[in-house]
Amino acid sequence: MSECLLDAPGIGELHLLLPLMQRVCEEGKSVFWLNPPHTPYAPALAREGVNLDQVVLIHTDDEGDFLWTLENCLRSPVTGLVMAWPGKLASREVRRLQLAAEAGSNVCVLFRERRYAGQNSPAALRLELEPGEQQDLKVNVLKRRGSWPGQRCSLAMAQRADLSFRETTRVVRGPWSGSTG
Does some domain include residue 143? no
Which CATH number goes with the domain that contains 115?
Answer: 3.40.50.300
Does some domain include residue 10? yes
C-alpha neighbours within 13 Å on the C-beta side of residue 177: 0
pLDDT in tens, 80-138: 999 999 988 888 898 899 899 999 999 999 999 999 888 888 888 889 998 877 778 88
What is the rounded CA–CA span in Å between residue 71 and residue 76? 9
User: What's the domain range around 59?
Assistant: 2-125
Return the sign of the alpha-carbon dihedral for residues 153, 36, 27, 159: negative
Q: How many domains does the chain have?
A: 1
Does some domain include residue 92? yes
Does some domain include residue 70? yes
Percent of the chain residues past pLDDT 70, beyond the cut: 80
> CA triplet 136, 139, 144: central angle to 5 degrees?
160
Does some domain include residue 81? yes
Does some domain include residue 79? yes
Does some domain include residue 171? no
pLDDT in tens, 2-15: 999 999 898 889 88
- Dmax (CA) of the chain: 49
pLDDT in tens, 19-71: 999 999 999 999 999 999 999 999 999 999 999 999 999 999 899 999 999 99
Does some domain include residue 80? yes
What is the rounded CA–CA span in Å between residue 181 and residue 160? 18
